[in-house]
A and B are shown apart, each in its own frame.
Chain A
Amino acid sequence: MTGTGVLAEARTPTRGRTSGAGRPAWSAFVVVVALLVATPVLAVVLDGVGSVGDTAPPRGIVAMVLTTLALMVGVAAGTLLVGGGLAWLVTAYHFPLRNVLVWLLVLPLAVPAYILGFVFLSVFDVAGPVQSALRAVLGPDVWVPEVRSLPAAVLVMSLSLYPYVYLLVRAALIEQSAGTYDAARTLGAGRARTLRRVLLPLARPSLAAGLSLVMMETLTDFATVQYFNVQTVSVGVYLVWKGTFDFHAATQLAVLVLLFAVAVLTGERALRGRARYHQQGGRGQGLQPERLRGARGWAATALCITALAAGFLIPVLQLLVWAVGEAGKSGVLTDPRFGEYLVSTLFVASVTALACVALSVAVGHAVRISGGRIAASAAQLTTFGYAVPGAVVGIGVLIAFAAVDTALERAGVPGGTGILVTGSVLGILYAYVIRFLAPAYQAVDASLAKIPPTVTFAALSLGATPRRILTRIHAPLARPGVAVALMLVMIDAVKELPIVLLLRPFGFTTASVWVYELARENFWEKASLPALVIVAAAILPVVVLVRQARRAETRGRVDA
């Protein structure tokens, strides 16, 4: 294949023939996965909807909704600006240190927003070094902007989350078939115009995917917004639940959170439009980075370093300083339980990652093979858990498992499954898969979307069985997505807190629980060590992610 071209398909690739051996089975498979994901969430929704009218809606609900909107829009804009801007800068230009910075810019992904948030506050708060210095110089009544505020929360969350947008946009800009770019140039479009009119529109689906990930993270965040005293709907769920001792009132609010999630998903669809771009190989020059000289080059370098310092270097240094200081006080550098926490953390993260990726590939394949609306809609449903706050998923799993237990006992199984499921690592893993299927599926789906549906149909018409298509075509071609998916899920799972807190059995603790127990009592210095463990555990997948991407780039473009 040396021909190039972009086939903008107005029809979705799923709408193929709807008959054929094995396809109803594949459809059914997607539906089963969707049901497994949806059951706990539905349990919560039913609880919420079922109790409407029993309790008045909490006061201030309008303000909560507005705050949530403002935060989500703010963080989306922030990540678009920082992540999109930096992706653009490192792809379109060449400047000093660019080759290193390209990869380092992903590092803030390893620092969860709740950790970045508490470090930020410790530095900028009234008793922190910045304000103390200001007071020393300008007197005690110096005016400083409010640190605990919506803008500050937007800033911190944008710095923590921009790598999602950065990674996806950059991948999109690089993966564009070189031929497309060259064709546009040959037809007389200038470099800037080609970027604007050809490459950017082609990157739109990736941009939409990145932004929707960021918005879901923002929506379900609970710890960071609390530090900054920003009352979103997710905080409202907790507030109402803990404050009124009324679980049903909390589930009603959780339904509201889900409505937000639906809005995000709809927004993503809209932004993506009906665009499906299938790249076909082509050898060409492609986009050549323009060299920025002199001061402009160094300004670009400074921009990248600033983002990196704010999102990674400074917080990690601060944590290290605390950890060393704390070790000096207690005389030991490591907690004796350190190893155990790290192992538990990595175990849960790696199992979740494998399960999510396996399911994503299977679902992505099934959607393409079954060619039916049911499968496509069910696949959408599987990504829904990402928009549900961890605590709500956890409670849903509890309700669902307790129901299964009761049913088993009625059926005459003594003790049901008993302790096997409530408060077991199995329960944690189930809840994790529900939460993190979305990033895995999006990454895998993005890879599969680059396979023209004609390839699948050609294979089918040549008599290949769906299973053979999975092993010989879809799975191999989804490879880049699989690598990204594994790592994204691992990073997310290392950070997750509420689910472990709720479902863990006795004697099972992860690093995030450890941070939580200390942070909740404001032992920030003591919490620095487990926080560093989380960062370290999350850096592993980030590094692998980067190495994968680098190798792919140095080998030349992946032709799909």
Chain B
Amino acid sequence: MHPRPLIAATAGLTVLSAALTGCGIIGGQSADLQIYSARHYDLEGAFGQFTDETGITVEFISGDDAELLERLKAEGADTPADIFLTVDAGNLWNAARQGELAELDSPVLDDAVPEDLRDAQGQWYGLAMRARTVTYNPDAVDPAEFDATETYAGLADPKWKGRLCMRDATSAYTQSLVASLIDLHGREEALKIVQGWVANDVEIMGNDVLLLEAIDAGSCDVGINNHYYLARTLAENPDLNVDLFWASQAGAGTHVNISGAGVVEGSDNAEDAQRLIEWLATDGQNPFVDGNHEYPVNPAAEPEPLIAEFGEFKRMPLNAEAYGDLNAEAVDLLAEAGYK
């Protein structure tokens, strides 16, 4: 065996690719604004439009929220990031608590974003809203079977035994739903609810799309899904045999969560960063949320047609501190209940 040509080839490959990546060897920054994003839905379109309107250039890297936050903390004052954009109110609350987000004073944002969807100190603002509600197969379920007041808790009723499918305990969606149940009913009651789901032999799935496919195929009757997954699947397959039921309309309302953003504490371009967040909450609402079938947070913006068909619904007020603070308890509770 002669590795010499092999080493030469590998070295050649290195030089060639280094030449092609150009300046990428040392992390450079070329745009006006740098964004750390844990949100992955077609950001290019909205940011491109912002650049066209203002001339401010934007670049972003995406990753997991926990890792990005840890990176922000490690970089400290040297961070290149100007904006932290993430999903889940608990993550926003936590980033603010860790002192990574600057306090803004923005009448524009205070006006555009409903009070429960933003931070009281102006450290973060919700920009897109998703509802996590009940989906079902209309051939197997009559919507009258659902408990209209306590829909999530109602799924612990033995009549749903063997008919439920839900997301795994690792999913942030599951965790914040359970955190909101703890917030609403107290830990003991919430534990009973989750234990009831487990006692009903709930089938656990690794992602929302599989859940919808399973309901469509008839192997589950009922699931809990983010509304935009249903919209997305319907856009691809209009014949999908899955309907949406707005949970707890006669009670506390449907569980919602947000994607949102804050200006990073160490930002060297806080002014433009604030301008981008303000734009996203006003003129940029539709470019930002429509591609992913999410609801705009700004009441002045209209949801896109496909989700407008789901109709109006009453939402449970969002308590970000509870989502953030109770998330650990929710994880613990899920483990205690034997929910995988």
Q: Which residues of A contact B (CB under 8 A)?
A: 58-60, 121, 125-127, 131-132, 135, 140, 148, 226-229, 231, 235, 238-247, 340, 343-344, 346-347, 350-351, 353-354, 357, 391, 394-395, 398-399, 401-402, 405, 415-416, 418-420, 422-426, 479-480, 482-483, 486, 490, 498, 501-502, 504-508, 517, 520-522, 544, 548-549, 551-552, 558
B205 at the binding interface (Cβ < 8 Å)? yes
Say which one of B26-34, B102-110, B279-287 lies at the interface with A.
B26-34
* Complex: A405 Cα to B75 Cα, angstroms: 9
B141 at the binding interface (Cβ < 8 Å)? no
* Complex: A354 Cα to B205 Cα, angstroms: 41
Question: Which of B2, B34, B219 has the most A CB atoms < 10 Å from its CB?
Answer: B219
Q: Assuming A229-B168, A242-B172, A426-B26, is B210 touching A127 (CB within 8 A)?
A: yes
- Select from chain A the residue with minimum beta-carbon distance to B63: A501
| Cβ contact within 8 Å between A226 and B6 | no
* Complex: A148 Cα to B167 Cα, angstroms: 12
Instruction: Return chain B residues, CB-CB under 8 Å to A522.
Output: 207-210, 229
Question: Which of B24, B29, B62 has the most A CB atoms < 10 Å from its CB?
Answer: B24
What 3 A-B pairs have minimum CB-CB distances, sorted nearest first? A505-B27, A127-B213, A347-B17
Q: Assuming A347-B17, A353-B10, A506-B59, is B24 touching A229 (CB within 8 A)?
A: no
Partner of A426, one of B25, B34, B59, B324: B25
B149 at the binding interface (Cβ < 8 Å)? no
B20 at the binding interface (Cβ < 8 Å)? yes
B269 at the binding interface (Cβ < 8 Å)? no
* Complex: A339 Cα to B15 Cα, angstroms: 16
Q: Assuming A135-B217, A346-B17, A517-B62, is B331 touching A558 (CB within 8 A)?
A: no
* Complex: A127 Cα to B215 Cα, angstroms: 9
Instruction: Return chain B residues, CB-CB under 8 Å to A244.
Output: 327-328, 331
Instruction: Return chain A residues, CB-CB under 8 Å to B303.
Output: none
Partner of B6, one of A247, A486, A521: A486
| Cβ contact within 8 Å between B327 and A420 | no
- Select from chain A the residue with minimum beta-carbon distance to B27: A505
Instruction: Return chain A residues, CB-CB under 8 Å to B18.
Output: 347
How far does the Cβ of B321 sit from chain A's closest Cβ, in whole Å?
12
| Cβ contact within 8 Å between B327 and A354 | no
- Select from chain B the residue with minimum beta-carbon distance to A231: B340
- Select from chain B the residue with minimum beta-carbon distance to A500: B63
| Cβ contact within 8 Å between A59 and B75 | no
| Cβ contact within 8 Å between B216 and A127 | yes
* Complex: A353 Cα to B172 Cα, angstroms: 36
Partner of B170, one of A125, A226, A350, A398: A226
| Cβ contact within 8 Å between A58 and B332 | yes
Q: Assuming A483-B1, A521-B41, is B168 touching A350 (CB within 8 A)?
A: no
| Cβ contact within 8 Å between B331 and A243 | yes
B278 at the binding interface (Cβ < 8 Å)? no
Instruction: Return chain B residues, CB-CB under 8 Å to A422.
Output: 27, 71, 74-75, 78-79
Given A127-B214, A506-B60, A517-B62, 4 more contacts at CB 8 Å?
A: A127-B219, A354-B10, A401-B74, A415-B78
Q: Assuming A244-B328, A344-B17, is B63 touching A423 (CB within 8 A)?
A: no
| Cβ contact within 8 Å between A479 and B21 | no
| Cβ contact within 8 Å between B327 and A245 | yes
Partner of A229, one of B26, B216, B340: B340
* Complex: A522 Cα to B236 Cα, angstroms: 13
Instruction: Return chain B residues, CB-CB under 8 Å to A415.
Output: 78
* Complex: A47 Cα to B1 Cα, angstroms: 45
* Complex: A461 Cα to B26 Cα, angstroms: 47
Partner of A227, one of B71, B79, B206: B206
B65 at the binding interface (Cβ < 8 Å)? yes
Question: 1/0 per position for B43-83, CB-CB distance to A under 8 A?
Answer: 00000000000000001111111110011001110111000
How far does the Cβ of B336 sit from chain A's closest Cβ, in whole Å?
6
How far does the Cβ of A416 sit from chain B's closest Cβ, in whole Å?
7
15 sampled A-B residue pairs with Cβ under 8 A? A59-B332, A125-B210, A127-B210, A132-B217, A140-B219, A226-B168, A229-B168, A242-B65, A340-B21, A346-B17, A350-B13, A395-B70, A402-B76, A422-B75, A522-B207
Q: Assuming A354-B7, A502-B63, is B27 touching A419 (CB within 8 A)?
A: yes
Q: Assuming A59-B335, A132-B217, is B170 touching A238 (CB within 8 A)?
A: yes
How far does the Cβ of B311 sit from chain A's closest Cβ, in whole Å?
25
| Cβ contact within 8 Å between B24 and A508 | yes
- Select from chain B the residue with minimum beta-carbon distance to A403: B74
B3 at the binding interface (Cβ < 8 Å)? yes
Q: Assuming A419-B27, A425-B25, A486-B3, is B204 touching A405 (CB within 8 A)?
A: no
How far does the Cβ of B16 sit from chain A's closest Cβ, in whole Å?
8
| Cβ contact within 8 Å between A521 and B217 | no
Q: Assuming A127-B216, A501-B63, A506-B80, is B1 touching A229 (CB within 8 A)?
A: no
- Select from chain A the residue with minimum beta-carbon distance to B60: A506
How far does the Cβ of A392 sit from chain B's closest Cβ, in whole Å?
11
| Cβ contact within 8 Å between B27 and A423 | yes
How far does the Cβ of A498 sit from chain B's closest Cβ, in whole Å?
8
* Complex: A228 Cα to B210 Cα, angstroms: 12
B90 at the binding interface (Cβ < 8 Å)? yes
| Cβ contact within 8 Å between B6 and A544 | yes
Q: Assuming A148-B206, A486-B6, is B213 touching A126 (CB within 8 A)?
A: yes
Question: Which of B20, B91, B214 has the most A CB atoms < 10 Å from its CB?
Answer: B20
* Complex: A420 Cα to B27 Cα, angstroms: 6
- Select from chain B the residue with minimum beta-carbon distance to A421: B27
